[in-house]
Chain A
Amino acid sequence: MNRPSTDPVALFEEALGGHRFALARLMSLVERGGEEARQLGAYTFAKSGHAFTVGITGAPGSGKSSLTSALAAVVRSKEERLSVLAIDPSSPFTGGAILGDRVRMQDHVTDEGIYIRSMATRGHLGGLSLATPQAIRVLDALGWPWIVIETVGVGQVEVEIAGAADTTVVVVNPGWGDAVQANKAGLMEVADIFVINKSDRKGADDTRRDIQQMLELSSLGNWEPPIIMTIATDDVGADQLWESVLEHRSHLLESGDLAERRAQRIQAELEEIVSRSLDQLIGIVMERPEALELKSKMKSGEIDPYDAAKRLIDLAID
């Protein structure tokens, strides 16, 4: 096979033809951002919208990766293909990252029916990486029917995933109560499905009761999140989890919520793009000679920051 080109559209066509390396390179382009990523975004937009996305979130070490692996086994046993985006945290000090989620998914490494890709957050907060939504879109446009996204494990459950995925699975462990006390309300809001993983450990039933009570107290919509007990490392409960995902999907389709969620997602993405573009613009403007001049005037007290800001914004809009 020849080296894949850097032209995103050509790469996309190669990937469509089944070249895994081209697919991997597309993911890299998306991660890098910039013009090529933008082109790719434009090219894939109309082709996407067919995949179903499942977000898996939960505290560090709660078993998200193990569960993703177990879930992947279930999906594969149904002869369906899936891709996994596993998000790992970048060090805020060095920018480096251990892409460690894959370690738990090793059973699937040589299975061509699964594509697993790690992405570091690269400074993005909220449990995903900046490029995640676009990576999802590319996978979607390439025809991957199921996309599972594992968020970073952070102290609290991250809410960002709820925007990015069709179904959000929140993973907790027995004895979760103390750990996420403050965040329980937030959890109730994002979870479409609850998983109590490591249910081989003491306190699983208590935790279940606890969640049930919380659910009863909160004002739910027309979907009542099921609570699934799993032992991810022994593949226990994964098939049930998959059943629940399918049920939730049917529910979203029948109720029209899916279209609603996706519309919201695109809206949010638009805002994000606009704000990011403005950020970039400001960066550029700040380097212009006029900006440097304004800065030095500000230093010497000739003009105030508000006035300087207004002039810079005018400059940017020009």
Chain B
Amino acid sequence: MTDAIKSTRDRPWVMRTYSGHSTAKASNQLYRSNLEKGQTGLSIAFDLPTQTGYDPDHPLASGEVGKVGVPIYHQGQMRTLLDQIPLDQMNTSMTINATAAWLLGLYIANAEEQGVSTTALRGTTQNDIVKEYLSRGTYIFPPDASKRLIVDMIAYCSEHVPLWNPINICSYHLQEAGATPVQEIAYSLANAIDILDAVRDSGQVPPTSFPRVVGSISFFVNSGIRFVEEVCKMRAFTQMWDEICQSRYRVDDPKLRRFRYGVQVNSLGLTEAQPENNVQRIILEALGVTLSKNARARSLQLPAWNEALGLPRPWDQQWSLRIQQVLALETDLLEHEDIFDGSHVIESKTSELVNDAYRELEDVLELGGAFEAIGELKQRLVISHTERMRQIESSELTVVGVNAFEDTAESPLGGDGSFLKVDPAVETEMVADIDNWRSSRSQLEVNQALENLRQAADGEENIMPATIAAAKAGATTGEWTEVLRDVFGEYRGPTGIQTASGNSPGLRKVADRSQRLSAGPPRILVAKPGLDGHSNGAEQIAVAARNAGMEVVYDGIRVTPDHIAATARDEDVDVIGLSILSGSHLQLVPLVLDALQDHGVKAPVIIGGIIPEDDQQALIDVGVARVYTPKDYEVTKIMNDVVDLVEEKRSKE
């Protein structure tokens, strides 16, 4: 048989939409309607307070409740979120990391309440902390403690929740932070190795069960616009993981060595300018992870055309789901064997990636592994991203609609109504809800459960039983986390900006300007208030400012208004640059301005990030000097503006 065409089609991948916002109730409705539209799995986005372990009434949660995901603060809300969704049939993916053990605890507690056995539960907790340190930013505890929590979850699931993927190793976020394909492969595999070594050495899993644990490791991968290379990347991943499982962990069963992965396609390359072009980008990126049958994604979620404008509305998400459906159901894609088998072009590109990635992987292992090398890896990512930005600014890398073919006919898309806005009243509602919850539970029971949790954390016991018990007793997300913060301490991630230099003639010219200023080079504070972890912009602005001859203070993500103001005052900076992408700028900026005033700081404040057009004037009105958005990709121009501002400010002193 020349089996180019098979009579039976392959089964389509799992189609998901990453979603959740406002409240558990609203999100439950959204999920149910998505399932009716043919979506075949759940992918839950949590709000930032839930991800970083704060209750809605915590000062740091202010402005962030229900914004970029669903708030889940206690078991009652988990119950509402999953109402009428059959837990024994549903495959639920939760993007949750530092507080993953807690959210799994709530999920299990809820299942038991519904009479569903934990052995029937299927799904994934993302639970990958290395990529939180390197890119995503919702880490809480230091590396060692975080690793221990992960190991505990893996060990617990291996025994009690066997169908659950306790961890999903992510390379996705590394590409979103600027990683090259080689870095993406090497750092995520190093991460997987670090975790598996730790599970093996923990003694919590009997050697006979260990191959199954190896087999339970799944991955979450990115697919960028260079989709031919991405096909090769997936094949490289598949080959390398198979080899590592065999050589390092002696897993004999090939099925357990299979590189199982889900995908979200690249969002970093999706543009604010001419946003309709994003649709073709998304389709091409989807091809990168579906074309090759042998390296095809298990599940896929696609961002929406309005990615760089704001949160997607249901219709935007439906459009992206329909892209998947057309690809899987209308085309002949699923009828063929691997269409690249025998292609020497694909083969040679794949082996090039494999070789380079092995080299980089060795390097990381030599540095002591992914956890140990976080600071170094972060720097390497920032360097890669700086290079990417430089290429876009110099037009070496073409981005249609941005640095090429910028002219456009008038577009019916865009504008202020074109993305989802979360009602700020949600926060008040959630604060009332948690008050209510706290007063209706048995405080004695909660105290006891939290005390048991503390002891488990302090000792060697697996964290899960005490966590599930605390969930059942009615503890809250903030309370669970507070206990662990107390025991483990809190971690501040590396900023990675120390070494990136880049070679931009434009910035060099600005540097000459900076150095000629009579009162010394400009001093700039770059700061990220709120819980927002999108650090790319702040990092790139900090690096650019340094390369533009400025003296730069940047303390990393999640700093308070008081922290910003005290730093600005003590360092006598000339400019304060805020970066906010989480959508909470209207709440946060006035808080920062007030704090600056309290501290006697008069330096101008500029801001960049995802700032919708309508809000830009509002920010200027409260006293912000300049607003920048992703459209302002020419960093040199931004830096020249900064020097202008500094000159103006100093001339008034």
Interface, chain A (partner B; CB < 8 A): 1, 3, 6, 19-21, 24-25, 27-28, 31-32, 90-91, 93-100, 102-103, 106, 109-110, 115-118, 120, 122
Contacts and interface: CB of A to CB of B under 8 A. Distances in A.
Which are the 4 A-B pairs with shortest beta-carbon distances?
Answer: A96-B546, A94-B511, A24-B572, A21-B600
B166 interface: no
A96 B563 contact: no
A99 B571 contact: yes
Contacts of A118: 551, 553, 571
A96 B511 contact: yes
Given A103-B495, A110-B562, 11 more contacts: A3-B602, A21-B599, A24-B569, A94-B508, A95-B515, A95-B521, A95-B549, A96-B552, A98-B552, A102-B553, A103-B556
Contacts of A98: 497-498, 542, 546, 552, 554
B3 interface: no
Contact of A97 (B552, B569, B572): B552
Contacts of A110: 560, 562-563, 566
Contact of B555 (A95, A103, A115): A103
Contacts of B555: 102-103, 106, 109
A103 B538 CA distance: 15
Contacts of A93: 501, 508, 511
A38 B562 CA distance: 34
Contact of A94 (B548, B560, B600, B601): B548
A96 B492 CA distance: 24
Contacts of A96: 511, 514, 521, 545-552
Given A3-B653, A91-B501, A100-B498, A21 B601 contact: yes
Interface range, B side: 35 or more
B570 interface: yes
Given A96-B514, A98-B554, A25 B495 contact: no
Nearest to B376: A61
B425 interface: no
A21 B519 CA distance: 17
Contacts of A120: 521, 551
9 contacts: A3-B602, A28-B520, A94-B507, A94-B549, A102-B567, A106-B559, A106-B563, A110-B566, A122-B521
Contacts of B551: 90, 96-97, 99, 118, 120
Given A1-B600, A94-B546, A95-B515, A103 B492 contact: yes
A24 B562 contact: no
A98 B498 CA distance: 6
Contacts of A32: 519-520
A100 B539 CA distance: 13
B497 A19 contact: no
Contacts of A25: 572
A117 B520 contact: no
A117 B566 CA distance: 11
Interface string B557-601: 001101100110111100000000000000000000000000111
A315 B505 CA distance: 41
A99 B599 CA distance: 21
Nearest to A105: B555
A19 B570 CA distance: 10
A285 B601 CA distance: 41
A164 B127 CA distance: 49
A25 B571 CA distance: 8
A207 B548 CA distance: 41
Contacts of A100: 495, 497-498
Interface in B509-528: 511, 514-515, 519-521
Nearest to B545: A96
Contacts of B552: 96-99
A117 B571 contact: yes
Contacts of B567: 102, 109
Contacts of A115: 570
Interface string B485-512: 0000000100101100100000110010
Contacts of B556: 103
A44 B555 CA distance: 32
B572 A28 contact: yes
Contacts of A99: 551-553, 571
A49 to B, nearest CB: 24
A135 B137 CA distance: 36
A236 B563 CA distance: 26
A28 B574 CA distance: 11
Interface string B523-546: 000000000000000000010011
Contacts of B514: 94-96
Nearest to A235: B489
B600 A6 contact: no
Nearest to B563: A109
A102 to B, nearest CB: 6
Contacts of B553: 99, 102, 118
A102 B560 CA distance: 15
A278 B463 CA distance: 69
Nearest to B510: A94
By CB atoms of chain B within 10 A, which of A25, A27, A98 has the most?
Answer: A98
A6 B572 CA distance: 13
A192 to B, nearest CB: 28
A122 B522 CA distance: 12
A20 B563 contact: no
A123 B155 CA distance: 55
Given A19-B600, A25-B572, A117-B571, A97 B566 contact: no
B443 to A, nearest CB: 32
A312 B562 CA distance: 55
A27 B551 CA distance: 14
Contacts of B542: 98
Contacts of A20: 569-570, 599-600
Contacts of B547: 91, 94, 96
Given A32-B520, A110-B562, A120-B551, A97 B600 contact: no
Nearest to A111: B566
Contact of B570 (A24, A97, A106): A24
Nearest to A4: B600
A117 B573 CA distance: 11
By CB atoms of chain A within 10 A, which of B501, B553, B563 has the most?
Answer: B553
Contacts of A102: 553, 555, 567, 571
Contacts of B508: 93-94
By CB atoms of chain B within 10 A, which of A90, A96, A98 has the most?
Answer: A96
A6 B651 CA distance: 12
A217 B130 CA distance: 45
Interface in B69-123: none
Contacts of B497: 98, 100
Nearest to A22: B600
A118 B553 CA distance: 9
Interface in B318-377: none
Contacts of A103: 492, 495, 554-556
A163 to B, nearest CB: 24
Nearest to A26: B572
A94 B543 CA distance: 12
Contacts of B515: 94-95
A7 B562 CA distance: 28
Interface in B629-653: 653
Contacts of B599: 20-21
A116 B542 CA distance: 20
Nearest to B573: A24
Contacts of B521: 95-97, 120, 122
A25 B508 CA distance: 28
A262 B483 CA distance: 50
A170 B519 CA distance: 34
B229 to A, nearest CB: 32
Contacts of B571: 24, 99, 102, 117-118
Contacts of A117: 570-571
Nearest to B507: A94
B22 to A, nearest CB: 33
Interface string B217-241: 0000000000000000000000000
